[in-house]
Amino acid sequence: MTAMLEVEGLSAYYGSMESLHAASLRVKRGEIAVLVGANGAGKSTTLRAISGTIRRTGSITFLGERIDMLEPEDVVRRGIVHVPEGRKIFAGMTVRENLEVGGHAVGRSAASIRDGIEEALNYFPRLKERIGSYGWSLSGGEQQMLAVGRGLMAQPKLMMLDEPSLGLAPLVTKTVFEIIKGINDNGVPVLLVEQNVGLALRYGHHCYVMETGQVVKDGASAEMADDPAIAKAYLGG
Ligand SMILES: Nc1ncnc2c1ncn2[C@@H]1O[C@H](COP(=O)(O)OP(=O)(O)O)[C@@H](O)[C@H]1O
Ligand SMILES: [Mg+2]
């Protein structure tokens, strides 16, 4: 597997405050890479820095080209789609309208958006049933599926997902992760943020551990799962 996304020495800032300190990571073709770490470790900041929604320094190379100077709308047009923390779906729009927004974000035609919705809905039988329902009426799990579906509508070459499990019951979380796995199996690499280390190691191929705005450790998930130090520090024994 060759690296599709290469991040080297990435720092990021809220105003004058540096909250991400020279982080390096890579996402290879076909893989799910996971960022784990406690609340406030810098996981969301890393995704925001890659998608260009906050000020950053360092180098970000995607498909062999530097993208760290691009505006967010150009990053998404290159194929990096960020599904943010907290879902951020539109409560006053229907499921279909929310999906359309994802297609418009990258300038797809009406016909292409119609086809895209059909394709995206194959992953989400539940959303298909709720296609005319308003965002506000959806359960947490349905909202998360819609957020992922809206991301798919932007035709990602790489998907970044920020805590898709947040606030969901274990069974719903499993459904959402199986959908993410399905998307990955169909060829879309994923950079996933997840606080639950067990889940991260189960679904991720490679895992980056973050603490206080830095990447402090990384490795193949299978090896990390067998590492007693990781188990002790992050899995409670
Ligand atoms: N909008 C913001 N403005 C200022 N500081 C922020 C903002 N968002 C996050 N931070 C700070 O950046 C650091 C990393 O936060 P974040 O990336 O949200 O962590 P995580 O996603 O790992 O929980 C924290 O110290 C947090 O307080
Ligand atoms: Mg976060």
Q: How do residues 107-165 score in pLDDT, each as one tens digit?
A: 999 999 999 999 999 999 999 999 999 999 999 999 999 999 999 999 999 999 999 99
Q: What is the mean pLDDT of the chain?
A: 94
Share of the chain above pLDDT 70, in %: 98
Alpha helices in 28-169 (DSSP H): 43-51, 72-78, 95-104, 110-121, 125-129, 140-152
- pLDDT band per the 50, 70, 90 thresholds, residue 56: very high
Q: What is the pLDDT of residue 196?
A: 87
Residue 1: what pLDDT? 54
Pocket mutation for ligand 1, best pick of 11, 43, 45, 208 (most atoms within 8 Å of C-beta): 45
Which atom of ligand 1 is least distant from the CA of 85?
A: 21
How many CA atoms does the CB half-sphere of 108 hold within 13 Å?
22
The pLDDT assigned to 14 comes to: 97
Residue that the structure tokens 């309208």 belong to: 97
Tell me if 51 sits within 8 A of 160, measured CB to CB: yes
Q: What is the C-alpha to C-alpha distance for residues 220 and 226, in angstroms, rounded to an integer?
A: 10
Q: What is the CA radius of gyration of the chain?
A: 17
pLDDT tens digits, 77-105: 999 999 999 889 999 999 999 999 999 99
The verdict on the CB of residue 19 being under 6 Å from ligand 1 is yes
**Ligand 1 atom closest to the CA of 39, numbered from 1:** 23
